[in-house]
């Protein structure tokens, strides 16, 4: 059983043909059938109650691709109306018994194309309907018109389904995912593209796992993005590229970690998930400009080749350059062609040929292209850059300069998410790359957290140092009112706390609200590390709790000497800051002399032997220099004279507590 299959229910659907299992499951389904949903009498069936287990609806748009192909004359080609029939025979992808016992087909539209998964760990049933295109396409034949068709269908059924899965060929899947990410504006539901390297009808294939994973994520997690799911990983649609034609692990996201991983459980990286900062209603923009192209530089490329490529009707190109966005700066003929194209209004985007990394202006050869009018593409993949360019050029409401700015806006839109993801894993190099391509490392993500907040939580000292050197502020507050300093305190990263305090970080009044309760709790649990981290952050450990009791009062009752020392340290520091250190030492010396007098008087009464019962902490002197009567009652002559030294030591500790 695959890891994704383990994410499903405890029912063993592979044993449906065994009579005992069938009977037990039938009984269970009859019970839930009576409480599943209510269907009106006008539909000609008995009235039934709504199910206690939630059902999520997912629309599967089958555009074609290898996942649904069959062999004809020794070659693979799309097979119409075969996929649903095959899925009904796979227990892992359809629970026929549940569908019959609960009258699923009578409740949902398109019963012939509707299927249901077994109960998941999240206690959900994913009910999915397959919408099959005619004709089915090999992805090599996909065009911008087909992208528009997919987008329109998402818009048409948007309010009817909780999520969308698009079955697509792998060859151009990255292009379609990128295009849909720009065409679907203000998206609030998951749209997941998937497919396979081997047809789902084959004994060994990746189609079943890919479809199952996409359905589980689309039906159970609200990830408002266009994504691509392949080989147990969920990627952002416009960050992915195909790198292997013969492996199940065919796609990667070079510059961004997966949004989710399907292992024993499905783990979502919520810090990376995109959150819209607008309340606008979902809509699609199906206008795409086809006068765009990809031009890859190579050593010795001629100016005639570049000139021919840039001729009308070409309106925009993605130039794939060397390294971090470099091109020969000693080729005046090439640079001249780029300048002329820029003057004609051709928009040119500079993307690197490298699988990883970003376009920067580190080298003179890269700056030469910027001077010629090329727009830096940052770390966008060529697929994403081309799709974005096609989308922007179709905007008739923008002039050329506005289109260039809009093209660059994707970099700024993705910067908070990318920077926070880099801060989370402690990747300083990634942050440097984001900075070099013009990203703002102080931008907030969807819940107001900056990369500095994330780095402080994770305890990445080098990342914190780098962010501070780039202008990140220690006073930034997220939507919950928390500063990076409080994040570091909560996760007990001492080095980060010290650094933030060194440059002026402090806890706000709101952050200290209710802190007295926390301090008392730390003392009760003998958590010296917790007290120390708050002390390093500059917190006042004498703040009262809800009942007026202070942490030092609790410490005295618990006789926790470690806590006493910390309170003494904080008090000494406060006195030094207020210039009262000499006064404190004088006061302490005077108390010591008075206690020695008390001890002498005690020893004179018992010159031979003295005992200490260990209960003197409850018998503090009522007046300085004067022992209480209760103390004298609990002191009895049973031990040798040297024990008087221990009694004196304890009296000194009483004096420390009192101070």
239 within some domain: yes
pLDDT at 614: 39
Q: Quick one: pLDDT band at residue 414, thresholds 50, 70, 90?
A: low
Same domain, yes or no, for 275 and 296? no
Q: Quick one: pLDDT band at residue 26, thresholds 50, 70, 90?
A: very low
The larger pLDDT score, comparing residue 243 to residue 106, is at: 243
The Cα–Cα gap between 506 and 326 comes to 45
pLDDT at 278 over 70: no
Same domain, yes or no, for 184 and 56? yes
Mean per-residue pLDDT for 149-162?
95
* Helix, coil or strand: residue 108: coil
pLDDT at 613 over 60: no
Mean per-residue pLDDT for 50-78?
85
Q: Quick one: pLDDT band at residue 627, thresholds 50, 70, 90?
A: very low
Tell which of 283, 307, 333 closes a domain: 283
Is 120 within any annotated ligand binding site?
no
62 within some domain: yes
194 within some domain: yes
The larger pLDDT score, comparing residue 14 to residue 430, is at: 430
Same domain, yes or no, for 81 and 190? yes
Tell which of 547, 577, 607 closes a domain: 577
Mean per-residue pLDDT for 315-335?
93
CA dihedral of 167, 171, 177, 180, whole degrees rounded to 10 = -90
What CATH code is carried by the domain that includes residue 330? 3.40.50.40
Least confident of 96-100, 206-210, 513-517: 513-517
Is 223:235 a contact under the CB 8 Å cutoff? no
What CATH code is carried by the domain that includes residue 424? 1.25.40.20
pLDDT at 243 over 80: yes
**Among residues of the chain, what percentage have pLDDT more than 70?**
72
pLDDT at 47 over 80: no
316 within some domain: yes
Mean per-residue pLDDT for 176-182?
97
pLDDT at 481: 82
pLDDT at 271: 77
85 sits in which H/E element: helix 83-88
Q: How many domains does the chain have?
A: 5
The Cα–Cα gap between 395 and 418 comes to 27
Least confident of 65-79, 313-327, 484-498, 577-591: 577-591
Same domain, yes or no, for 62 and 107? yes
Tokens standing for residue 391: 């989308």
pLDDT at 4 over 70: no
404 within some domain: no
What pairs with residue 76 in β-bridges? 71
| Chain mean pLDDT for the chain | 79
Same domain, yes or no, for 389 and 521? no
Same domain, yes or no, for 175 and 248? yes
Is 602:635 a contact under the CB 8 Å cutoff? yes
Same domain, yes or no, for 553 and 653? no
Mean per-residue pLDDT for 402-418?
62
What is the set of active-site residues?
170
pLDDT at 421: 77
Tokens standing for residue 42: 């006008």
64: which DSSP letter? Answer: E
599 within some domain: yes
Is 170 within any annotated ligand binding site?
yes
The Cα–Cα gap between 136 and 461 comes to 53
Mean per-residue pLDDT for 388-400?
85
401 within some domain: no
Same domain, yes or no, for 465 and 487? yes
pLDDT at 438 over 90: no
The Cα–Cα gap between 543 and 164 comes to 53
Give the angle subtended at the CA of 559 by the CAs of 558 and 564, to the nearest 5°.
110
Is 65:170 a contact under the CB 8 Å cutoff? yes
The Cα–Cα gap between 436 and 438 comes to 5
Same domain, yes or no, for 20 and 155? yes
- Phi and psi at residue 349, in whole multiples of 5°? -110, 130
CA dihedral of 108, 112, 118, 121, whole degrees rounded to 10 = -50
**Cα distance between the two ends of the chain:** 68
What CATH code is carried by the domain that includes residue 96? 3.40.50.1170
Q: Quick one: pLDDT band at residue 590, thresholds 50, 70, 90?
A: confident
pLDDT at 585: 67
Is 459:432 a contact under the CB 8 Å cutoff? no
Is 174:207 a contact under the CB 8 Å cutoff? no
Is 271 within any annotated ligand binding site?
no
The Cα–Cα gap between 27 and 508 comes to 60
What CATH code is carried by the domain that includes residue 533? 1.25.40
| Residue 612 domain boundaries | 588-658
Residues 6+ apart with CB under 8 A from 89: none
pLDDT at 336 over 90: yes
342 sits in which H/E element: helix 332-343
Same domain, yes or no, for 595 and 553? no
* Helix, coil or strand: residue 400: helix
582 within some domain: no
* Helix, coil or strand: residue 350: strand
The larger pLDDT score, comparing residue 579 to residue 181, is at: 181
377 sits in which H/E element: none
CA dihedral of 639, 640, 644, 650, whole degrees rounded to 10 = -40
3-class SS letters over 205-221: CCHHHHHHHHHHHHHHC
Same domain, yes or no, for 352 and 432? no
Same domain, yes or no, for 246 and 317? no
Tokens standing for residue 371: 């001077």
Tell which of 577, 598, 621 closes a domain: 577
What does pTM read for this prediction? Answer: 0.62
pLDDT at 10: 37
């Amino acid at each position: 059983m695959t890891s994704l299959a383990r994410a499903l229910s405890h029912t063993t659907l592979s044993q449906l043909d065994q009579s005992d299992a069938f009977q037990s499951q039938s009984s269970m389904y009859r019970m839930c059938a009576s409480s599943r949903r209510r269907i009106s009498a006008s539909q000609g069936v008995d009235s039934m109650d709504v199910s206690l287990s939630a059902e999520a609806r997912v629309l599967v748009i089958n555009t074609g691709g290898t996942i649904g192909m069959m062999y004809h004359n020794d070659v693979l080609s799309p097979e119409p109306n075969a996929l649903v029939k095959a899925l009904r025979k796979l227990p892992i992808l359809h629970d026929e018994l549940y569908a019959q016992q609960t009258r699923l087909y009578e409740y949902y539209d398109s019963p012939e194309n509707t299927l249901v998964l077994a109960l998941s760990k999240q206690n959900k049933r994913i009910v999915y309907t397959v919408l099959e295109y005619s004709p089915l396409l090999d992805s090599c034949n996909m065009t911008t018109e087909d992208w528009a068709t997919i987008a329109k269908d998402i818009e048409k059924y948007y309010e009817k389904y909780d999520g969308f899965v698009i079955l697509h060929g792998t060859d151009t899947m990255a292009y379609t995912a990128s295009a849909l990410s720009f065409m679907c504006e203000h998206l609030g539901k998951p749209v997941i593209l998937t497919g396979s390297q081997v047809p789902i009808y084959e004994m060994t294939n990746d189609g079943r796992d890919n479809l199952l994973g996409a359905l589980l994520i689309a039906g159970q997690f609200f990830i408002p993005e266009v994504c691509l799911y392949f080989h147990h990983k969920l990627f952002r649609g416009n960050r992915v590229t195909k790198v292997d034609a013969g492996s199940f692990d065919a796609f990667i996201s070079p510059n961004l970690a997966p949004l989710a991983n399907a292992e024993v459980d499905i783990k979502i990286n919520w810090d990376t998930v995109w959150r819209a900062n607008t309340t606008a209603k979902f809509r699609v923009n199906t206008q795409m400009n086809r006068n765009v192209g990809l031009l890859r530089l190579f050593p010795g490329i001629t100016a005639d080749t570049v000139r021919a490529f840039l001729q009308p009707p070409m309106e925009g190109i993605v130039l794939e350059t060397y390294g971090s966005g470099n091109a020969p700066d000693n080729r005046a003929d090439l640079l001249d062609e780029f300048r002329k194209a820029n003057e004609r209004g051709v928009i040119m985007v500079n993307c690197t040929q490298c699988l990883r990394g970003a376009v920067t202006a580190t080298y003179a050869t890269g700056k030469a292209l910027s001077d010629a009018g090329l727009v830096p593409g940052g770390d966008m993949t060529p697929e994403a850059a081309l799709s974005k360019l096609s989308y922007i050029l179709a905007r008739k409401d923008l002039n050329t300069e506005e289109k260039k700015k809009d093209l660059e806006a994707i970099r700024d839109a993705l910067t908070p998410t990318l920077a926070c993801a880099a801060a989370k894993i402690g990747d300083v190099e990634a942050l440097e790359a984001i900075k070099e391509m013009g990203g703002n490392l102080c931008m907030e993500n969807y819940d107001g957290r900056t990369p500095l907040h994330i780095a402080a939580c994770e305890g990445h000292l080098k990342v914190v140092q780098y962010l501070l050197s780039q202008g990140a502020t220690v006073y930034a507050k997220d939507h919950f009112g928390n500063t990076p300093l409080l994040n570091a305190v909560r996760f007990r990263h001492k080095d980060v706390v010290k650094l933030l305090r060194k440059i002026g970080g402090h806890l706000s009044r709101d952050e200290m609200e209710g802190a007295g309760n926390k301090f008392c709790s730390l003392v009760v649990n003998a958590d010296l590390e917790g007290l120390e981290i708050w002390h390093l952050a500059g917190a006042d450990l004498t703040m009262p709790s809800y009942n007026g009791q202070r942490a030092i009062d609790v410490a005295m009752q618990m006789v926790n000497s470690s806590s006493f020392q910390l309170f003494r340290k904080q008090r000494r520091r406060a006195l030094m800051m207020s210039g009262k250190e000499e006064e404190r030492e004088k006061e302490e010396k005077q108390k010591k002399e008075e206690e020695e007098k008390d001890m002498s008087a005690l020893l004179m009464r018992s010159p031979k032997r003295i005992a200490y019962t260990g209960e003197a902490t409850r018998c503090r002197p009522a007046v300085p220099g004067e022992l209480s009567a209760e103390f004298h009652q609990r002191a009895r002559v049973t031990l040798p004279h040297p024990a008087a030294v221990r009694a004196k030591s304890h009296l000194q500790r009483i004096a420390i507590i009192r101070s």
